[in-house]
Amino acid sequence: MTLIDGKKVAADIRAELAVRTKSLEEKYRKKVGLAVVLIGDNPASQVYVRNKIKACEEVGIRSFSHYLPAETTQKQAEELILSLVADKNVHGILIQLPLPKHLDEKRLLALIPKAKDVDGFSAENIGSLAMNEEGTVACTPLGVMELLKRYHIDTKGKRAVVVGRSNIVGRPMALLLINADATVTVCHSKTENLKEECLRADILVAAIGKAKYITADMVKDGAAVIDVGMNRDEDGKLCGDVDFESVKGKAAYLTPVPGGVGPMTIAMLLCNVCDAFERAER
Ligand code: NAP
C-alpha cells in the first residue's frame, strides 16, 4: 500500500507557490492579495484564520485581515465586503464560516463576485464547475484531485464512488471526477447498499463525517481510498471516515488522517488566490 503523504505534497505546493508569487510580482509589479474576514470569537475559526494568514506569509501572498466583533450588524459586514470587492489590491475574499447567527450568511457570500470567490462556493463558480468551464473550485475537493494527480492515480474510465454530497466537499468532488473522465457514483445517507456501491470503486472518496465508517469489507482490493473526514474517535484522537488500520490491507493507495487531505485544503486556497490574481491582471 502506498501512503499518500498530503503533508509533503502541500509543502511542495507551497514551495512552488513561493516561486510563482515572486515571478507574478516581478511581472505585474504588484503583490498577490487575500482578504480574510473573521466575525465573532469562535475559537476554531480563529485558529483556521491564523493558519491561513501564516500560510499566505510563507508563500509571499499579502494578507488583509479584518476581525469584526460578534455584534457586527449585517449592514456593517456588507459594507466591509463591498469595500474589499472594490479594492484592487485584494484578489481573493474569504469569509470564515460559521458566522454569528444574526448575520445572513448567504447574502454576504453572494456579494463576493466570481473573480474574488477563492473558496469556490458561489453559485456562479459551482455552475462553471458543473459545465466544466473555467472557474474557482472548492479547496478540499481540488486538493483531492491534486493528490490523485501527483500520485499518478488515473481517473479516466475508472469507477469512482464519492460518499457524501455536501456543497463544499461531496458535490464538487463528484463534478471534478466527472470532468476527469471517471464514471462517478455519489452516495449519501439514503443510499441503499452502501457497501456494494463502495466495493465497486477503483477510487473511493469518503466525505461523511463519521469516524472510521468505511471498513475493509467495503473496499475493493487495490482501490485508491481518499479520506476527507476529520473526526474524533472514542479516545478523542483525530481520525478520518475510513478505518485506516483495516483498510490499509486492502487499498493500493490510502490517505492518512491527519496528514492526508487536510493539509491540502490551505495549499489549494493559496493556489486559488494566485489563479484569481492572474485572471484579474492578465
Ligand atoms: P456534511 O455537510 O455533514 O455532509 C456529510 C455527507 O455525508 C452528507 O451528504 C450525508 O448525506 C453523508 N452521510 C452521512 N451519513 C452517512 C451514511 N451513514 N452513509 C452515507 N452517507 C452519509 O459534511 P462535509 O462538510 O461534507 O464534511 C465531511 C467530512 O469531511 C467531515 O468529517 C468534515 O470534518 C471533513 N472535512 C474535511 C476538510 C479538510 O480540509 N480535510 C474540509 C471539509 C470537510 P445526506 O446528504 O443524505 O445528509
In this structure, the answer to whether residues 226 and 148 fall within a common structural domain is: yes
In this structure, the answer to whether residues 105 and 145 fall within a common structural domain is: no
Say if 269 falls within a structural domain.
no
What per-residue confidence (pLDDT) applies to 18?
98
Q: Residue 223: exposed, middle, or buried by beta-carbon count in 10 A (0-12, 13-18, 19+)? A: buried
217 Cα: distance to centroid of ligand 1 (angstroms) = 20
Mean pLDDT on 153-159: 98
Average pLDDT, the chain: 97
Distances (CA, A) of 167 to 137, 201, 211: 11, 22, 20
273 Cα: distance to centroid of ligand 1 (angstroms) = 25
The C-alpha atoms of residue 94 and residue 272 are separated, in whole angstroms, by 11
Mean pLDDT on 117-141: 97
Mean pLDDT on 72-99: 98
Mean pLDDT on 82-89: 98
Query: Is residue 14 over pLDDT 90?
Result: yes
Distances (CA, A) of 196 to 73, 157, 161, 242, 248: 49, 19, 11, 16, 19
Say if 69 falls within a structural domain.
yes
Say if 282 falls within a structural domain.
no
In this structure, the answer to whether residues 96 and 188 fall within a common structural domain is: no
Which grid coordinates belong to 72? 457586527
Atom of ligand 1 nearest to the CA of 209: 32
Query: Is residue 32 over pLDDT 90?
Result: yes
Q: Domain of 224: which CATH number?
A: 3.40.50.720
Mean pLDDT on 141-158: 98
In this structure, the answer to whether residues 153 and 44 fall within a common structural domain is: no
Say if 162 falls within a structural domain.
yes
What is the best residue among 171, 230, 232 to mutate for testing ligand 1's pocket, by most ligand atoms within 8 Å of CB?
Answer: 230
In the chain, the number of structural domains is: 2
**Residue the block writes with cell 481520525:** 239
In this structure, the answer to whether residues 144 and 105 fall within a common structural domain is: no
251 Cα: distance to centroid of ligand 1 (angstroms) = 21
Say if 127 falls within a structural domain.
no
At 93 the three-state DSSP class reads strand
In this structure, the answer to whether residues 167 and 100 fall within a common structural domain is: no
In this structure, the answer to whether residues 103 and 161 fall within a common structural domain is: no
Give the tens place of pLDDT for each residue, 46-68. 999 999 999 999 999 999 999 99
Query: Is residue 226 over pLDDT 90?
Result: yes
Number of Cα atoms under 13 Å in the Cβ half of residue 33: 16
Mean pLDDT on 64-79: 98
Banded model confidence at residue 240, pLDDT cuts 50, 70, 90: very high
Say if 39 falls within a structural domain.
yes
Query: Is residue 282 over pLDDT 90?
Result: no
Task: Find the residues whose C-beta lies inside 6 A of ligand 1.
Answer: 140, 163-166, 168-170, 187-191, 194, 207-210, 228-231, 261-262, 265
Mean pLDDT on 194-210: 98
What is the best residue among 169, 190, 215 to mutate for testing ligand 1's pocket, by most ligand atoms within 8 Å of CB?
Answer: 169
Name the residues annotated as catalytic: 52, 96, 119
Mean pLDDT on 137-164: 98
200 Cα: distance to centroid of ligand 1 (angstroms) = 20
Widest distance between CA atoms in the chain? 56
What is the best residue among 166, 185, 213, 226 to mutate for testing ligand 1's pocket, by most ligand atoms within 8 Å of CB?
Answer: 166
Per the structure, the complete domain to which residue 197 belongs is given by 139-262
**Residue the block writes with cell 475493509:** 216
Say if 281 falls within a structural domain.
no
Say if 230 falls within a structural domain.
yes
Residues near 142 by Cβ (< 8 Å), separated by ≥ 6?
120, 172, 176, 268, 271, 272
What per-residue confidence (pLDDT) applies to 9?
98
Final residue of a domain: which of 113, 131, 154? 113
Q: Domain of 44: which CATH number?
A: 3.40.50.10860
In this structure, the answer to whether residues 86 and 156 fall within a common structural domain is: no
In this structure, the answer to whether residues 46 and 159 fall within a common structural domain is: no
Mean pLDDT on 1-21: 98
In this structure, the answer to whether residues 46 and 80 fall within a common structural domain is: yes
Cβ count within 10 A of residue 76: 14
